[in-house]
Structure formats: C-alpha cells, structure tokens
Structure 1
Amino acid sequence: IQSIDSLRELNSKLLAEIAELRKENAEISETKQLCDKAFDAEDKANRANQEEILYWYLYAKDFIIQLNGIIESSGSKFSEKKA
C-alpha cells in the first residue's frame, strides 16, 4: 500500500501534467484560430481576384460587341487595308 505522502506526490505530478496539457491545448486552439483566419483571408483574396477577372472579361466581351457593331454600321471602311 502506498503511503499518503507518495499519493500526494503522485497527485501533485499529475496536476502539473494536467496543467501542462491544458496549456498545450490552449496553444493548439490559438494556432487553429490563426489558421482559420489565414484561410478566410486567402478565400476573400481569391474571391476578389475572381470578381476582378470576371469584370475585365465582361468588359472585353462588351468592347468586342460594341466594336463589331461600329464596324458593321460603318460599312467596310474599317476592314479595308490601305497600301
């Protein structure tokens, strides 16, 4: 049978280990939150880039439509090559 002193010593060691594990768990939780923030920021940046690419794609598409309309309405003036 273990003495009360040895049980107290074991209890003290276990409490210290529990405290250390809680500290590590808090650090892991903090790291997880930082990773989540980084992923969210990356997603927002990607979304913004996609929106900008779509904007310029639609702009170019509309420009080509308007240019073709101008060329068609002007006859063949723009399509003739001069020597």
Structure 2
Amino acid sequence: MNKSKYFSGQPLVSQLIKFLDREEINRTAKKAGSDRYYKKFHTYDHLVTMLMTVISGCSSLREISGLFLACQGRIGHLYPPYELHI
C-alpha cells in the first residue's frame, strides 16, 4: 500500500499554527495590553481556541467545551502545561 503524497500526517490545526509567529503575537498582545489582567488564558491560547472552533464548525460554548474535552490528550502541545477545567 502506497503512502498518499497529499496527506502530511499532521492535523490541519497544527499545520495552520505553524504559520503563526508566537513571538510576534506575544509582542502585539503586549503592545495592545490584551494580556494585562489575565493569568492563564492568554492571547495566543485564545487564538488557537478560535482557530479550532472555526475549523470544527462549533456554534455554542457547549460544543467548544465538548471539542476540547474530546481532544484533550491530543492537543496538549498547543497549550501551556495547565489542565483545562471546562
């Protein structure tokens, strides 16, 4: 069985996140002051969450929480080392 030359083996979200420059996002967030009062859920985390939400087609908070609970073991590399309490 031949390997597909169109499948890279990585999820779509991971491929999109590779295009994002985390340092640039953090620099812009610091300049705009968007992370000023937050302790855990920073601008980068919010951006990744919104990307996954749009790609998955979620339309409610319940769907978003279900998505992240279902994918919790597979998306650990996208988030800081704290546990999601949804």
Same fold (TM over 0.5): no
TM-score calculated relative to the size of structure 1: 0.27
Pair member with larger Rg: 1
Larger helix share, 1 or 2: 1
TM-score calculated relative to the size of structure 2: 0.26
